[in-house]
Amino acid sequence: RISTAPSRIADTAATINSLLELHGKFPGQSMYELREGESRQRRHYYYQYKRSDWNESVYLNPIQEFTIKKSAFQASDWQLGDLFIAGNKVLKR
């Protein structure tokens, strides 16, 4: 079954738990309980990394956060979030 319901990676364990009737407790929801078109906020983090960029003074390039409200396939459902910079700095949006 293919679904366009707004799921997160954390829903994977809850989905497997539900399908196998393991009765465990996991974060997230079973993907089969989600409704397509439901408004469910998720976060996506992006950073560009090239091995050649790595040096001892900067461990990680900036990480850009995005918030997705409904469909990951609709650009209008994405919003720019905070920017995380090495040295424990955060540029709030």
Cα separation, 27 vs 88, whole angstroms: 27
Same domain for 66 and 34: no
- Domain range enclosing 19: 1-38
Residues 48 and 73 in one domain: yes
Average pLDDT of span 37-45? 87
**What is the pLDDT averaged over residues 62-88?**
92
pLDDT in tens, 54-63: 666 666 789 9
Percentages helix, strand, coil for the chain (3-state, rounded to 5) are 20, 25, 55
Q: Same domain for 28 and 60?
A: no
Same domain for 55 and 19, yes or no, is no
d(CA 29, CA 83): 28
Residues 8 and 21 in one domain: yes
Number of domains making up the chain: 2
- Same domain (yes/no): 10, 24: yes
